[in-house]
Amino acid sequence: MSQLNLNNMMPKGIPLRYCQRFDSKKLCGNGKVPIPFIPTRDELEEGEEVTKVKVYITKDIQKYVEVFKDGDVESIIRHIKRHEGILDAKKLQATFDANTRALAGARQRLNLMGADDDERDELVMEIETLQRSLVELPSTAFDYMEQLLDESLHAEWQKVVTKVCESTTYVDNNGVETINGTARGKTFEMLKVCYLEMVKWSTKQNAAELHRAYISTCVKMPPPEVHPVTAAQYITRMEDCNSYLTYLPCLKQVRGSPTNMARADVPFTDTELCSIILSGLDIRLTTAYWALKGSNHVPTSVVDLKNDLESIEPQVELARNSKSSGKKDASKSGDNGKQNSGKRKAAPSTDSGPRKTNNSKGYAKTKKQRLCQKCAKHSPAIKNTHNTADCRKWDDNGNAMDGSKGKRTHNNVSNHQMKEMVAMFSQALDSAKDRKRKSGKSTRSNKRQKNARDNRYLTSDDESMDSNSS
C-alpha cells in the first residue's frame, strides 16, 4: 500500500457515534447498517493467524492472497475486490473479450470460404480453440474464488454457483422472472451475480437502499475536538463507502419489482458526492470553503474538492487552536483573579499603636458600649441594648413598669391607654354586630313582602283567566 493511501486511512479507535448525525437504527430499525462508517474489524487483527494461498499470475510471478473465512459485509466486499484484482492481473476478462472478437471474425471468414479451400480446416480448428477458451476462462475465474475461500465455505459457494448458473428458473438483475428457460452457465456476468449472493451471507436484500441513505444523511466528519480527522481521510472513506454500492443487493432485483423503479446499487456521481461530503464536514471547514469559492460555485470533482480542502484545512486548524488557547488564557486569568480576591488581607500588626483606617483622622472608630444596670440585674439578656437612663422595663425599685416581670413591655403605650384602646375596639365590634343583625332582619322582611306581592299578582292573574274562560 502506498504512503498516500496510508495517510488517508481513517485513524483507529474512533467511536461510531461521533461519525453519525443521529442513531443509525432510525434507518434500519433494530438492525445494523450494512457497512458502518467506522470499520468494525481490521483486515488483520493482532495475534490472529491468517491462511494464505499462492496464486501464479504468470509463470514467473506469484502472489500470496488471504483466504476468506468469516467477516461482515465490508470484509466480504474486500475479498471480492481481491478476487477481481487477481482476475485483472491474469487478464482473464481482457483475454475473454479478445477471443470473443476473434471468434466472430473467424466465423465470418469461414462463411466466405469455399468448401475446397485448403485453409478451411485450420480455420475450423482455430474456431474450436477459441470456443473452448470462452468456456475455460470464466470457469477458471470461478475456480479462483473457490481457492480463496476457507474449506468451511466451499459447500456454500457451490450452492451459489448451482443456483445462479445451472438453474433454469431464475430472476434476472431487473426483477424479471424466467421459468423453465435455458441455464445461464458460468460466465463473467454470472460471476457478478454470485458476488451478490455472497454478500447476502451477511446482509439483506435492501442493503443498497439502506447504505445509500446512510452515507447521504447520517454520516458526518467527527468533531476535531474529540477525534482529529483530516479532510482527506474523511473523503477517502466516503469514496470507499460509495464504491461499495455496486456490490450490494437492492430491491430492484426482487421478482416483480416496478419497471420504473430506480436502482439503488448505482454509486453517487461526483457532483452528488461532493454535496454529501460538504454537508458532513465540520462547520468551520465548510464555511471557509464557501468563503473561498463563493456562492455561485458548483463542486463537480471529488479530487478537486479534496485538494481545495487540504489547502484550507491548515488555516482553519490554526484559527481554531488560537481561539481555544485564548479561551484557556482567559479562564486561567479569571481563576487567578478569583483566587486573589478570595484571599484574606494580612492581619494587622499587634503593636500598641492605634490602627489606621480610611477615616479623616486616620484612626479606627470605636463603638460605644451600652449598659443598663437595671436590666443587668433583672434581665441580663438585653442589658447591652440601651443605657440605664433609657430603661423602660424596670423602675428604680426593681419593679416591672408594665406590672408583669419578664414580659415584653409596650413601648410608648401606658397601661391606661392600652385599656382604653381595648374598650374602644370592643365597642366598635359590638356596633358592627348589631348593624349586621338589623340588616339581616330587614332583608328577611323584604323577602316576605316580595313573596306576598308575587302571590297576589299570581292570584289576580288566575282570577282573570277564570273570568275569561267563563
Q: Is the pLDDT of residue 454 over 90?
A: no
Q: Are residues 313 and 225 in the same domain?
A: yes
Q: Are residues 232 and 305 in the same domain?
A: yes
Q: Are residues 290 and 405 in the same domain?
A: no
Q: Are residues 308 and 390 in the same domain?
A: no
Residue 5 counted as domain residue: yes
Q: Are residues 308 and 235 in the same domain?
A: yes
Q: Which residues of 443-470 are buried (b: 16+ CB within 10 A; e: fewer)?
A: eeeeeeeeeeeeeeeeeeeeeeeeeeee
Q: Are residues 320 and 385 in the same domain?
A: no
Mean pLDDT of 96-123: 87
d(CA 238, CA 302): 10
Percentage with pLDDT > 90 across the chain:
50
Domain boundary among 263, 293, 327: 327
Q: What's residue 97's pLDDT?
A: 95
Q: What's residue 333's pLDDT?
A: 61
**Extended strands (E) in 195-305:** none
Residue 339 counted as domain residue: no
Q: Are residues 322 and 239 in the same domain?
A: yes
Query: Regarding predicted confidence, which is higher, 93 or 468?
Result: 93
Residue 455 counted as domain residue: no
- Cα dist. 154→104, 138, 177, 202, 341 in Å? 36, 18, 28, 16, 78
Q: What's residue 89's pLDDT?
A: 94
Query: Are 58 and 50 a contacting pair, CB within 8 Å?
Result: no
Mean confidence (pLDDT) of the chain? 82
**Where does the pLDDT of residue 157 fall: very low under 50, low under 70, confident under 90, or very high at 90 and above?**
very high
Q: Are residues 321 and 390 in the same domain?
A: no
Mean pLDDT of 412-423: 63
As a whole number of Å, the CA-based R_g of the chain is 50
Residue 424 counted as domain residue: yes
Strands 62-66 and 170-171: unpaired
- Structural domains in the chain (count): 2
452: amino acid identity, one letter: A
Mean pLDDT of 89-103: 95
Residue 48 counted as domain residue: no
Return the HEC string of 30-76: CCCCCCCCCCCCCCCCCCCCCCEEEEECCCCCEEEEECECCCCHHHH
Query: What is the span of the domain harbouring residue 211?
Result: 1-34+203-327
Q: Are residues 394 and 296 in the same domain?
A: no
Residue 281 counted as domain residue: yes
Q: Is the pLDDT of residue 245 over 80?
A: yes
Residue 312 counted as domain residue: yes
Q: Are residues 320 and 229 in the same domain?
A: yes
Residue with cell 486511512: 9
Residue 290 counted as domain residue: yes
pTM: 0.66
Query: Are 255 and 175 a contacting pair, CB within 8 Å?
Result: yes
Grid cell for residue 286 = 465548510
Q: What's residue 27's pLDDT?
A: 87
Q: What's residue 308's pLDDT?
A: 94
Q: What's residue 415's pLDDT?
A: 58
Q: What is the dihedral of CA 228, 232, 234, 236, to 10 degrees?
A: -150
Q: Is the pLDDT of residue 241 over 90?
A: yes
